[in-house]
Amino acid sequence: MAFGILYDFLMGQSIEAYRFFGAHFEKRGITSGVVFRLYAPLAEDVSVLGDWNGWDYSRDKMNRIDDSGTWEIFIPNLYNYQGYKFHFKNAKGQYVDKADPFAFYSEMRPLTASRLFDIENFAWHDEQWLETRDRNFDKPMSIYEIHIGSWKGKIGDRFPSYEEIADYLIPYLKESGFTHVEIMPITQYPFDGSWGYQATGFFSVDSRYGNPFQLMSFVDRMHQAGFGVILDFAPVHFANDAFALREYDGSCLYEYSDPKHTFSQWGSCLFDLGKDPVRSFLMSAMNYFLDYFHFDGIRCDAVSNIVYWDGNKNNGENGGATEFLKRLNGKIHYKHPDVMMIAEDSTDFQGVTKPVEFGGLGFDYKWDLGWMNDTLKYYSKDPIYKKWEHNRITFSMAYFWSENFLLPLSHDEVVHGKGTLINKMSGDYETKFALLRNLLTYQFAHPGKKLNFMGNELASFDEWNEDRSLPWVLLTFPKHDSVRRLVRDLNLIYRAEPAMHVEEYNPCHYAWTMVDNADQSVFAFERHVGESDLLFVFNMTPNYYEQYDVGVHNEGEWYELFNSDKDVYGGWNQYNGLNVNTSPGGPENRPYHVTIKLGSYAALILKRIVEKPSKKKGSKKHVQK
C-alpha cells in the first residue's frame, strides 16, 4: 500500500500522500518509534537531526529507497513534540537544514523546526453530524468568517487555544443564527500579517493556537453544537522562507523554474501546479484536513491566480493549473461526496461550479466578487447619483444563474484602507446605519449562500487588525447592538423560509417585480417555493412614502415579516403594522400590486398568506408559515 501511494504521488494522483511521507509513529516488531520519509530527488547525504540526537547530522542517516528520490529511516523510542529537521546536500552543493514538508506540527515562529505528533486515535463524537452532512444546495448556509487569533484577541501575552475559542464561539453562533463558521488559514505560517495565506507547513496545524488534537476538538465541538466548519486554504503560493519549501532540494521542486512565474505579486513563491508531485502534495494537504479533522468544506483562495497566468486573463489560461483543479475536485468529491469545495474567484472564467464530467472545474460554490464590488460601490454613492448607477444592482441577476454563487462580505473588504462596511456607506452617522441595515437585508434577500466576516455585525468604524480583538465594547451602544440583532433576525428568517434557500439556483423561483425604477431607486423582487412566497422591497434613498405601490405576481393578502426601519434595529419605525391586500395591475406591468408604507432607506420582507382548505368541506383557513 505504501509504495502504491508513492507511485500515485509521483503521477499526480494521490490525495493521501500524508500516509506515506512525513513522520509517522510505528511499531516494528516490539520496538516503537518513528519512520521518516522525505521526497527530495536531488538531495544527497540526507539525515534527520533532532532533539533526541543533539542535532547531530552524522547519527541518523537516511536511506534512498527508490530512484524517484525518496528517503527513509526508522528511529526508535521517540515521542510527541520532539523537534526535527532534514539535513542534506542540495543540488547546488550546499548543506542545508529544512523543515519537513509533511510535518503534522511545527514550532511557533520565530522558531522553524518541525515537531513530532501522533495524529492517530483522536476520540470523535460527531457521528450524528457526519451521517446527515451534505453540500447544502437546498439548505440555508450563512457563514461566519473568523480569524482565530483576533476574534477575542490575546489572553495576556498568548494566543487563545482552539478550545478556548470554541467556548465563546459556540454560544455566540447559536445566539446569532449562523449555520457555518469559516476559519482563515491555520496551516503553519511565519508572518502574522499574512493571516495564514503564505504558509510554510501545509499539513502542519498552526501552533499559535494549539496542536492537531486541539483543532480536532474544536471541529468536534462545533459539529456537536450543530455548526459546519469550513477551512480557508491557499493552494496558489507559499512563503519564501529558506527553511521551508523554497528551492527545497536546491532545485525548484515546488515552485516554477521559469523566473517569469517563480514569484507572485505578494513576493511569495508560486506553486507549479503543472508538476504531478506538487499536485499530489496540495490535493493530499486538503484531503488531510477533511479526513483527519472532519472539516465540512475547503475554500480555495485566489483561484483567479490559478486559472490565469499571474491572475490576468490577458495572459491566457494556465492549462496545467486548471487541470489540477479538475483533478482536485473530482478526487475530493469521489472520496467525500458530502464535502463542499468553494472557489474564491474574481474572474469570469466559465464553468467554475460546473461538474468535472461536463467540462467544468468541479467546485460546488463560487464567491460572487462581482456582486460584492458592484453592491458596495452602489451603496457608497450619494442618493442623488444612485439613478445613474442603477445597473450595479440589477446586473448580478443577469449572470447569477450561470454558477452556484456565494455572496461574500469578507475580511478583504474591511482592511488596507478600504474602510469597514459602515464606513463605505454614504451619508451622515444615522444614514450610514440605515444603509448598512439595508445592505445586510439585501445580501440575505439575494439568491446565493451568505458569508460575513466577523465584526460586520458590530458595525465597527475601525478596520480589522489581526493584532487586536474585535471591539466587543460596541455592543454596549444600542445603535451597534441593533445591527447585531438585525443580523440575527435575518439569519433566522433565512433559515425558516424555504423560498430563501431551497432550489435557489433555479431561476423559476425568482422574479423581479420592480427593476426599472431608476428615478426613485426602488427595487423589488419575489422569491417563492411552495407555500413560501416572499416579496423584498428596497428603498435606496431618504425619500419617505406613506403609500407606495409595488407589483406582485400572486394575488392575496400579505403581511410584513421584516422591516429594517423598525426601532429595534435602530430605525425610525416606519413599518406596516396591518396586512395588505393586492389590487389589480401594478407598476412595470405586473398583474397585481400591494400598497405599502416605505420608509427612508428601508428594506422590507413581506410574506403572502396562503389559503388552504380546512378539514371542513367548503371552508378555508389562513396559514402563515
Which residues are designated catalytic? 301, 344
Instruction: Give the Å distances, CA to CA, from 548 to 95, 384, 413, 499, 551.
Output: 78, 20, 34, 24, 10
Residue type, 424: K
C-alpha cell at 368: 460572487
Kindly tell me the burial class for residue 358, based on how many C-beta atoms sit within 10 Å of its own C-beta (0-12, 13-18, 19 or more). exposed
DSSP β-bridge partners for residue 468: none
Directed axis angle between helix 212-224 and helix 276-293, to 10°?
Answer: 60
For 589, phi and psi rounded to 5 degrees? 65, 30
Longest alpha-carbon distance in the chain = 94
- Grid-cell match 398583474, residue found: 591
Nearest to 331 by CA among 4, 1, 618, 12: 12
The residues, ordered by sequence, that sit 6+ positions from 172 with a Cβ below 8 Å of its Cβ are none
- Rounded to whole angstroms, the Cα distance separating 153 from 612 reads 53
DSSP β-bridge partners for residue 26: 33
Burial 276-290 (b: 16+ CB within 10 A, else e): bbbbbbbbbbbbbbb
- Rounded to whole angstroms, the Cα distance separating 494 from 527 reads 12
Instruction: Give the Å distances, CA to CA, from 386 to 173, 378, 381, 393, 550.
Output: 35, 7, 6, 10, 20
C-alpha cell at 10: 509521483
The residues, ordered by sequence, that sit 6+ positions from 314 with a Cβ below 8 Å of its Cβ are none
In sign, the C-alpha dihedral spanning 174, 143, 494, 505 is: negative
Work out the number of other CB atoms within 10 angstroms of the CB of residue 614: 11
DSSP class per residue in 533-580: EEEEEEE-SS--EEEEEEEESS-SEEEEEEETTSGGGTS------S-E
